[in-house]
Amino acid sequence: MARSKRGPDGRRLLAGVVAEAARGWPAGLTVLTGDDLYHLDRAQRAILDALGADGDDEYGRTVFGDAKVDLAAVVAAARSVGMFAPRRVVFVRELAALSGDDVSIGELTDYAAHPPPQSHLVVRALALDARRKLHKALGQVRRLLSFVLPEGAARLTAALPAAREIARGRGVRLEPDALALLVDLTGGDLQRIEHELDKLAAWLERPKDVVPAAVVLEVASASGLASGWAAAEALTRRDRAGMLAALRQNVDAGEVPLKILGTLAWRARVLREAKALVEAHRPIAEIVQATRAWRFEDDLKAGLERYDLDELLAFPTRLLDADRALKSRAIAAHAVLERLADRLTEGGR
């Protein structure tokens, strides 16, 4: 995979990434971009797993993205290969967190052209704006992996075999009409399809049953059965009171706290990526399309006005704190979730 890869076939591109990662991911700068987040996420995971970059380590691994950071510091971190680790891995999980001048961009370009052996810099960039110098430099690197969703009806057609494969992996058998309905309801968004199939797999009493379209409509698309859905909508529009009320209702109804947290994490990611696109001066229609926010477009528009980027960059750390607290079982679930709501919507109405 010696040159940039572009194209709508995310499955084929992902297969190439996985194969090359298994052989040994080459040193240097890798940029992951595009709106096909399902395949992009798996490519990112394959690369980082192959490099052993599964956490922060002062000797071998560094992750940036929780707060603003100077580009020069990121390049310096990538160049600082130490004697206590077999390789140096630096991962930037949010391009919007980077800031830099012409000098630091030049340092990045030089690093990309002549990386030290066993040094790896991986940058995740949802969108690249050629009018911005840093974005333009990243868009010209040799190892640019661009995962692009097909447009219109082609997206639904392409999602069908992938959705069938995801269902098979979860032991869920869908009637043809049920599979088509699931793809249609989700707009061909494989991340949402995966989420809905997880709910279906948990709901089925007999896994061998073939699921009809009526069950998909009842279980997968009914907002009243989606754990944390109302709380996620309140989070999107930064409605603290609404989020607290929804979370209390979820817990009182016996919903699984970790599933609620998963829905909140998914919506927080949509917010963060949408805000990054705002920072890249993309029009709102394109942002809604890229983040698949059709069903909550109005809430998203409200949230983009009420949150700033620094607040959204802090969301992953706060969600991780809540995840650890829930798994520790030392604190009541309702207390953990209500504290999370406070931390995420501070300053909200």
Does residue 331 lie within any of the structural domains?
yes
What tokens does 122 get?
Answer: 């991986």
Domain boundary among 120, 146, 172: 146
- Residues 25 and 141 grouped into a single domain: yes
Its sign, for the CA torsion 14, 77, 88, 53, is negative
Cα–Cα dist 90/28, whole Å: 10
Q: Burial, 165: exposed, middle or buried (Cβ in 10 Å; 0-12, 13-18, 19+)?
A: exposed
Segment among 140-144, 266-270, 271-275 with least mean pLDDT: 266-270
pLDDT band at 3 (very low <50, low <70, confident <90, very high): very low
Is the pLDDT at 225 greater than 50, yes or no?
no
For residue 183, pLDDT over 60 is answered with: yes
Based on the domain organization, do 104 and 195 belong to the same domain?
Answer: no
- Residue 210 — very low, low, confident or very high, per pLDDT cuts 50/70/90? confident
Question: Looking at residue 233, what DSSP letter applies?
Answer: H
E strand residue ranges, the chain: 28-33, 61-64, 69-70, 88-92, 98-99, 119-125, 144-146, 173-174, 210-211
Model pLDDT, residue 182? 84
Residue located via tokens 């940029």? 31
Query: 31 lies in a domain?
Result: yes
Q: Give the model confidence (pLDDT) of 188-208 as tens digits.
A: 888 888 888 888 888 776 666
Mean of the pLDDT values across residues 7-28?
88
Domain count across the chain: 3
**Quick one: residue 326, left, alpha or beta (phi over 0 = left, psi -120 to 50 = alpha)?**
alpha
Distance of alpha carbon 49 from the chain centroid: 16
Residues 206, 240, single domain; the answer is no
Going by pLDDT thresholds of 50, 70 and 90, the confidence category of residue 86 is: confident
CATH of residue 213's domain is 1.10.8
- The verdict on 50 and 135 lying in the same domain is yes
106 contacts: CB under 8 Å, gap ≥ 6: none
The residue type found at 91 is: F
Same domain? 174 vs 293: no
For residue 1, being part of any structural domain is answered with: no
227: confidence class by pLDDT, cuts 50, 70, 90: low
| Residue 326 pLDDT class (50, 70, 90 cuts) | very high
Is 2 among the domain residues?
no
Q: Taken in order 260, 263, 267, 273, is the CA torsion positive or negative?
A: positive
Q: Residues near 326 by Cβ (< 8 Å), separated by ≥ 6? A: 257, 258, 261, 333, 336
Same domain, 52 and 180: no
44 pLDDT tier (thresholds 50, 70, 90):
very high
Q: Looking at the predicted structure, is the pLDDT value of residue 113 above 90?
A: yes
- Does residue 129 sit in the same domain as residue 216? no
Angstrom distance (rounded) from CA 319 to CA 323: 6
Q: Would you say residue 1 has pLDDT above 70?
A: no
> Is the residue at 3 inside a domain?
no
Reply yes or no on whether the pLDDT at 56 is more than 50: no
DSSP string of 67-88, one letter each residue = S-EEHHHHHHHHH---TTSS-E
- List the structure tokens of 42: 């798996």
Same domain, 233 and 207: no
How is 237-252 classified by DSSP, letter by letter?
Answer: TT-HHHHHHHHHHHHH
Look at residues 126, 146, 166 and tell me which one is the last residue of a structural domain: 146
Q: Which of 162-171, 202-211, 273-282 has the lowest mean pLDDT?
A: 202-211
Residue 90, in any domain of the structure = yes
Between residues 6 and 281, the one the model is more confident about = 281
Same domain, 199 and 96: no
Segments forming the whole domain that contains residue 184:
153-221
More confident call, 86 vs 338: 338
Residue 71 lies in a domain: yes
pTM above 0.75, yes or no: no
Look at residue 295 in the predicted model and tell me its pLDDT. Answer: 65
Would strands 69-70 and 210-211 be described as parallel, antiparallel, or unpaired?
A: unpaired
Shared domain for 180 and 251, answered yes or no, is no
- Classify residue 5: in a domain, yes or no: no
| Residue 85 pLDDT | 63
The whole-number average pLDDT for the span 246-274 is: 87
- Greater confidence, 331 or 32? 32
* CA–CA distance, 170 with 250 (Å, rounded to integer): 25
Confidence class for position 26, pLDDT limits 50, 70, 90: very high
Query: Contact, 74 vs 90, CB < 8 A?
Result: yes
Q: Is the pLDDT of residue 224 over 50?
A: no
Which of 168, 193, 221 is the C-terminal boundary of a domain?
A: 221
Provide the pLDDT confidence category of residue 70 given band limits of 50, 70 and 90: very high
What is the share, in percent, of the chain residues with pLDDT greater than 70?
Answer: 88
Q: What CATH number has the domain bearing residue 232?
A: 1.20.272.10
Instruction: Report CA-CA distances (Å) from 130 to 108, 127, 133.
Output: 16, 10, 7
pLDDT in tens, 118-146: 899 999 998 898 889 999 999 999 999 99
The confidence score (pLDDT) of residue 74 equals: 95
Same domain for 165 and 114, yes or no, is no
Spatial separation of the C-alpha atoms in residues 271 and 319, rounded to whole Å: 14
348: pLDDT strictly greater than 70: no
122 and 172 both lie in a single domain:
no
